[in-house]
Structure 1
Amino acid sequence: MAINKAMKIALKALSYPDLDIKKNYKIHRQINTAMHPYLKPRYKIWDHTITGIDHEIPVRIFMPSKASFDKADRVLIFFHGGGWVIGNIDSYSNVCYNMANQTGAVVVSVDYRLAPEHRFPLGLEDCYTVTREVFLNSTLFGVSMDDITIIGDSAGGNLAAAVSLMARDKGEFNISRQILFYPSTHNDHSDETGFPSISKFGKDYLLTSKRIRDYMDLYISSENDLSNPYLAPLIAKDLSNQPKTLIITAEYDPLRDEAEAYGRKLKEFNNTVYIYRMKDALHGFISLPKHFVHVKGSYEIISKFLNNEL
């Protein structure tokens, strides 16, 4: 459904005034969790931890309702959104449960450390550690490495792209596929950045450009991080040898253009890339209930991508 005049008025009211995320990020976390209640009895899950360098990384494993752990066809490693500052495996459990059922895959949701308590690159290191563990012990799920895909939305899409770059650079394992929902890929979200979607949709469409900048300020450890391609994959000088990539963007999203630019740059380095823009969609739409048209459409595309039918 297109965004009509009444809906635009409602969106503007919800987008302004923008609460100061830098001062109130803990309140934002509480609100985010309350808006996405975790209904554990519905899920066929396994809570687990993976050992990091100096701490345990929680993960939650979701099974499709008609599958068992020894009959998985594929695995999706999921990194949640929230600007690297909010969100957790509880607030994204409904999303992951639906993802498992829609794709028939085991979904491994990673509860990486959040900023500003744990700034870049600590959350990324958690995501990489879990990904390495799953890839190097893929027999745990009875699947091959080629049947393991990394996936993330927004900041989680950024983390997925960075994990792919890091995996190539470290050479410990090969990622064959990645799925990026409206990822943050750049280091500049001012109106002067050159991406029209920032100026067109950066104020009245729920996610504002100010909030994106505030999230990034909370995430980085210093200004030097802004020149690091693991923080902003779009600035990477070399994007060769990246996984087959599916990028799904939202029409009314300030991050739309940089996400699509990342897909085009991946193509320039001879990677296989599919870019789909969801018409009339807002940033964060994958968290909507499963019957919403954008959610249903996305999983139709994802299923074709996973089955090599695109």
Structure 2
Amino acid sequence: MTRPGSPGQPPVNRLTSAVLSLFAAPRIDMRADYEKVRRAQRALSRTPRDPYRFLDQAVRGEDGHEIPVRLFFPRTLTKPGVLLFFHGGGWVTGDIDTYTSTCLTMADLTGRIVCSVDYRLAPEHPYPAGLQDCLRVTETLLERPYLAGGADPEDITLVGDSAGANLAAAVSLDLHRRGVTLPGAQVLLYPVVQWDHDPRTSPYDSVRAYGTGLRLTALEVRDYMAMYQPDPALRATELVSPLAAEDLTGQPRTLVVTAELDLLRDEGEAYGRALRAAGTPTRIERVDGALHGFIILPRFSRALARAYDHIISFLEGDMADSRPLEATTDGADR
């Protein structure tokens, strides 16, 4: 495989491209068909049969609406603390039902309670509705830890994948900006942290290398972003694009995990380096051969197993990168 974005070179060879195309999602118009995608996801989701594995609760929003949350309990509770999870889906799709299997896996493999948040979705509820829900649940858990087993703030870890990782990063930024107690750590899985995913203008090679024909396309990310934040002038603000934040100090210790064959790879790793430069203890890992969305894969998946190797060791306090990763060379990093 050639280096993505190398002048005059394709990002992957023809055989690799043909194999990867097997994993490409059919192209749909997300702005027109997001409801169909939601219905399909729910039809494929699995609700756990064991009633002792999960508990549904709700947190009341500031305007009185209820924010559903679901607590998942591991088969063997071996570690203290709570993983507060924000699901992916481009701020438009996904919910606690479609991520139930993923959260059960997370609870079992980490030995910790997982609390999944069913935040409001765009386009019916554009920014900042989903972020406000995530903030409300986070602050409630920090203020009343008995709601999730008595975890101290230091033992609460924000976890998000894709758009959920964007929300986790934004929650941490907002809490710090307001001088509120922060969780002890955050795990950002293939996060979207900046607004520009047009291959013609993006500063990141991975957008051009992997922005078409794979699990997630650049056009889909742009559709999601347009539904989440309809005002183009506000998409570069820090709570929508955390990489644009002028002040990244005071953030929780962070693990960033990216997928090699993902258009969001370079920006996620750039965010990790920016956090590190601002003084935040940060670990940056890349899962080789992985596509966007690997956290929802079955437990026997090699990519999932490798990702959990990093997650579990990070939760145990290991902050050392497993290997050095090459930074982008086009001046995109902070």
TM-score when scaled to structure 2? 0.87
Number of the residue aligned with 1:73? 80
**Per-residue deviation at 1:13?**
5.7
* 1:274 aligned to which of 283, 286, 307: 283
- Following superposition of structure 1 onto structure 2, how do residues 205-244 of structure 1 map, counting pairs within 5 Å? 205-244=214-253
1:83 matched to 2:90: yes
User: Aligned to 1:153, which of 151, 158, 161?
Assistant: 161
- Comparing 216-225 and 198-207, the one that deviates more: 216-225
Greater relative CO, 1 or 2 (CA 8 Å, sep 6+): 1
Q: Is the 8 A contact 1:186 1:233 kept in 2?
A: yes
Question: Counterpart in 1 of 2:103?
Answer: 96
Q: Which of these residues, 51, 66, 69, is aligned with residue 56 of structure 1? A: 66
Matched, 1:175 2:199: no
**Residue pairs, 1:1-310, within 5 angstroms:** 8-9=17-18, 11-12=20-21, 15=24, 18-41=27-50, 44-54=53-63, 55-67=65-77, 73-140=80-147, 141-191=149-199, 192-310=201-319
Matched residues in 1 for 2:100 and 2:81: separation?
19
Equivalents in 2 of 1:285, 1:30: separation in Å?
Answer: 21
C-alpha separation in 2, matches of 1:271 and 1:211: 31
Distance in 1 (alpha carbons) for counterparts of 2:22 and 2:310: 32
Q: 1:139 to 1:65 in 2, by over 3 A?
A: same
TM-score, L = length of structure 1: 0.94
Letter of the 1:27 partner, please give it.
K
CA distance in structure 2 between the partners assigned to 1:268 and 1:220 by the alignment: 28
Unpaired runs of at least 5, structure 2? 1-11, 320-334
- CA distance 1:49–1:72, change in 2 (3 Å): farther
Amino acid aligned to 2:164: G
Q: Is the 8 Å Cα contact of residues 194 and 236 (structure 2) preserved in structure 1?
A: no
Instruction: Provide, for residues 48-104 of structure 1, a one-character-per-residue CA deviation record: whole Å limited to 9, x for no partner.
Output: 00000120000000011123xxx8611000000000000000000000001001111
SS at match of 2:124: coil
Deviations 1:141-187 (A, max 9, x none): 12221111000000000000000001101222122200000000001
CA offsets per residue over residues 182-201 of structure 1, 9 Å max, x none?
00000100112110000000
Query: Matches of 1:250 and 1:170 in 2, distance apart?
Result: 32
Moved more, 183-192 or 171-180: 171-180
Q: Is the 8 A contact 1:88 1:111 kept in 2?
A: yes
State whether residues 29 and 86 of structure 1, in contact with CA within 8 Å, keep that contact through their aligned partners in structure 2.
Answer: yes
Q: CA RMSD in A?
A: 1.8
Q: 5+ unaligned residues in a row in structure 1: which ranges?
A: none
Please give the alpha-carbon distance, in whole angstroms, between the structure 1 residues aligned to 2:50 and 2:15.
38
Question: Is 1:48–1:59's contact at 8 Å kept on the other side of the alignment?
Answer: yes
CA gap 1:16/1:271 in 2 versus in 1, 3 angstroms: closer
For residues 229-276 of structure 1, give each alpha carbon's deviation from its aligned partner in whole angstroms, at most 9, with x where no partner exists: 000000111101011000000000000000001011111101111000
Aligned partner of 1:173: which letter?
T
- Structure 1 residue 17: Cα displacement: 5.3
- Code of the aligned partner of 2:273: R
Partner Cα distance (1:107, 1:167) in 2: 21
Q: Alpha-carbon deviation of 1:206?
A: 1.5
Q: Percent same amino acid at aligned positions?
A: 42
- Could you tell me which amino acid in structure 2 is paired with residue 56 of structure 1? E
Aligned-pair CA distance for 1:224:
2.8
Kept after mapping to 2: 8 A contact 1:52/1:129 = yes
Is the CA contact (8 Å cut-off) linking 1:72 and 1:142 kept in structure 2?
A: no
Kindly indicate which of the two structures has a greater share of residues assigned to helix: 1
